[in-house]
Structure formats: structure tokens, C-alpha cells
């Protein structure tokens, strides 16, 4: 009988065992402004350049067999940036949601957002919602954009929902546990993140997925986001594969 073809990871990263490929990766995309300033350009050019990094990284992650890729695109704190930059980012996100639809469809990607999307400008919100709707029945990698997102806000919003449910008698306060809170997060289907990658050297978590990254491995690279490409993702996955994950237990053997 003919041998089944090797799964993707073996072909792309032959030195990494398939079982060591992270199922879920979160990326804190940082350094767009610094990248642009290096050329004496205005900061927003770094955001535009960052789109190519998103495309290459998402494609590579899907080929590697990553199940979920979550990108931190706009935090609840980012509204403090100059109005012009915020407006630029909102337009870029709107355009991204529309321009990528064909590519998302071609690759069977499920496109999702995470955060307080209702507070985004109407045009951005509707473009994102439509892309989510169009890709909802696909069965490939979940590409999730964290937008108007804050880890503390997400947990506080889930706590508020728990309180509402308790007052309405839908849940008994004594039975509230981790699972009950997790069911009320923005995307209850989201799995725990195995690997967090942060670009541009900063050793911070910056309010990204606080609940879901509890046991994540963190890899920080000095590459600025607009320079980030698939080989940097591969390097992070290799680093992840070399780590001993213990989840609070002891190393086996
Ligand atoms: C950080 O760079 C990056 C962001 C504010 C996130 C936005 C990312 C993009 C627009 C890339 C394209 C992504 C999508 C999904 C369309 P920074 O401005 O904080 O850089 P700095 O720390 O060098 O100032």
C-alpha cells in the first residue's frame, strides 16, 4: 500500500516533531513605528508594511498546521494614540478585511475578531463582521484579530456576564469555576495559547489574552513587525519545540 504523504510540519520543519508544533499561537505585533522612523518615514507607513507580514505569517502558520493564530491588532489602550493614526489604522483594518476575503476563502481560513468590536467605527465593524460571516463555515485555521481588545477588559466583561447570570438564576454563585468564566469570554471556543511571539524586543505581555496565555511559552524577537516573515515564525516554533512544558507539574522520567 502506498505510504500516506508526510503531514505538512514534517516537510516544512523536518527537525520538529509534529507533536511539538503549537496548536495555538498569539502574536504581539510590535515595532511598526520604529521600522518607519528608521527610514525617516511617518509611523503609519509601518502599519501598512505590517500587512505583508500578516499575510506571510498567516499563510505559513496555516501550512504548518497551526489551528489558531491570534494577532494583537488594536488594544483598548491604542485609542490614546494621535487621532490621525487611529483613523488610519481603522481604515487599514477595514481594507484588510475586504482585500483578504479571496485569500481567506482559498485557504479555508476561518476569520474571527476578538474584542469590543461594537465600539469600532461603523465601516470597519461592518467589513469585519461580513468577513467573519463569509468564512464562518470554513474548516481551516482560525485567524483571529484582537481588536479594541484588552485582557483585563475581557475578564471583567466575563465577570459582569457571570453576575448577570447569577442574578437571573441561570447559574448558582457557588458553582462558578474556571470553566464558567471561560464560557463567557469573547470567544468561548478559543483554545489556550501555546506560544506567544512578541516582536521588537519588548519583554511585556501588554494586556494580551491574559486568561488564555496562562501556560503559554513566550518568544521575544528583536525583528520589527514589518520585517517579520515565515522564517521568523519557524524560528519561534523551533524555540517552542525545544522547551520543556510542565504546566506546574514535574518533568517526566
Ligand atoms: C505596533 O506597532 C503595531 C500595532 C499598533 C498593531 C497594528 C498592526 C498592524 C496595523 C499591522 C497590520 C495588521 C493588520 C491585521 C491589518 P507600534 O506602532 O506600536 O510600533 P512602535 O512600538 O515601534 O511605535
pLDDT for the residue numbered 223: 98
**How far is ligand 1, taken at its centre, from the CA of residue 11, in Å?**
31
d(CA 175, CA 162): 11
* Ligand 1 site residues, Cβ closer than 6 angstroms: 29-34, 43, 47, 50-51, 54, 71, 73, 78, 89, 92-93, 96, 145, 200, 225
Ligand 1, atom 1, lies closest to the CA of 30
Give CA 86 to chain center in angstroms.
Answer: 20
Q: Which residues pair with 219 in a beta bridge?
A: 197
**How far is ligand 1, taken at its centre, from the CA of residue 226, in Å?**
9
pLDDT for the residue numbered 8: 53
Do 239 and 22 form a contact (C-beta atoms < 8 A)? Answer: no
Atom number, ligand 1, closest to the C-alpha of residue 37:
23
pLDDT for the residue numbered 244: 86
Atom number, ligand 1, closest to the C-alpha of residue 47:
10
pLDDT for the residue numbered 5: 53
pLDDT for the residue numbered 9: 53
**How far is ligand 1, taken at its centre, from the CA of residue 136, in Å?**
26
pLDDT for the residue numbered 3: 57
**How far is ligand 1, taken at its centre, from the CA of residue 74, in Å?**
8
Q: Which residue has the cell 488594544?
A: 75
- pLDDT-flagged residues of the chain (< 50): none
Q: What is the pTM of this model?
A: 0.94
DSSP per-residue codes, 78-139: GGGS-HHHHHHHHHHHHHHHHHTHHHHHHTTPEEEEES-GGGS-HHHHHHHHHHHHHHTT--
Ligand 1, atom 14, lies closest to the CA of 51
Q: Which CATH class is domain 19-241?
A: alpha beta
d(CA 84, CA 203): 28
pLDDT for the residue numbered 10: 57
Atom number, ligand 1, closest to the C-alpha of residue 75:
5
List the one residue out of 52, 189, 167 whose CA is nearest residue 112.
189
d(CA 133, CA 51): 22
Ligand 1, atom 6, lies closest to the CA of 73
Structural domain boundaries in the chain: 19-241
Q: Around Cβ 75, how many Cβ atoms within 10 Å?
A: 20
pLDDT for the residue numbered 165: 98
Residues involved in catalysis: 30, 78
Angle between the N-to-C axes of helices 122-135 and 83-99, in degrees from 0 to 180, rounded to the nearest 10: 30
Do 120 and 90 form a contact (C-beta atoms < 8 A)? Answer: yes
Amino acid at each position: 500500500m502506498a505510504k500516506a504523504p508526510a503531514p505538512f510540519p514534517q516537510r516544512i520543519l523536518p527537525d520538529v516533531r509534529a507533536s511539538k508544533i503549537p496548536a495555538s499561537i498569539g502574536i504581539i505585533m510590535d515595532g511598526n513605528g520604529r521600522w518607519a522612523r528608521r527610514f525617516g518615514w511617518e509611523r503609519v507607513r509601518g502599519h501598512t508594511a505590517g500587512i505583508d507580514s500578516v499575510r506571510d505569517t498567516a499563510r505559513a502558520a496555516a501550512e504548518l498546521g497551526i489551528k489558531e493564530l491570534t494577532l494583537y491588532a488594536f488594544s483598548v489602550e491604542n485609542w490614546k494614540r494621535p487621532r490621525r493614526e487611529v483613523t488610519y489604522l481603522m481604515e487599514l483594518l477595514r481594507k484588510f478585511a475586504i482585500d483578504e476575503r479571496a485569500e481567506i476563502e482559498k485557504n479555508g481560513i476561518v476569520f474571527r475578531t476578538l474584542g469590543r468590536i461594537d465600539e469600532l467605527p461603523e465601516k470597519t465593524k461592518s467589513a469585519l463582521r461580513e468577513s467573519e460571516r463569509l468564512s464562518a463555515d470554513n474548516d481551516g485555521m482560525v485567524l483571529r484579530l484582537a481588536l479594541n481588545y484588552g485582557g483585563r477588559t475581557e475578564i471583567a466583561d466575563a465577570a459582569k456576564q457571570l453576575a448577570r447570570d447569577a442574578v437571573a438564576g441561570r447559574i448558582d454563585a457557588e458553582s462558578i469555576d474556571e470553566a464558567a468564566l471561560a464560557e463567557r469570554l469573547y470567544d468561548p471556543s478559543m483554545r489556550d495559547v501555546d506560544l506567544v511571539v512578541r516582536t521588537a524586543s519588548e519583554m511585556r505581555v501588554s494586556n494580551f489574552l491574559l486568561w488564555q496565555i496562562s501556560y503559554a511559552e513566550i518568544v521575544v524577537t528583536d525583528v520589527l513587525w514589518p520585517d517579520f516573515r515565515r522564517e521568523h515564525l519557524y524560528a519561534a516554533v523551533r524555540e517552542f519545540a525545544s522547551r520543556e512544558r510542565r504546566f506546574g507539574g514535574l518533568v517526566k522520567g
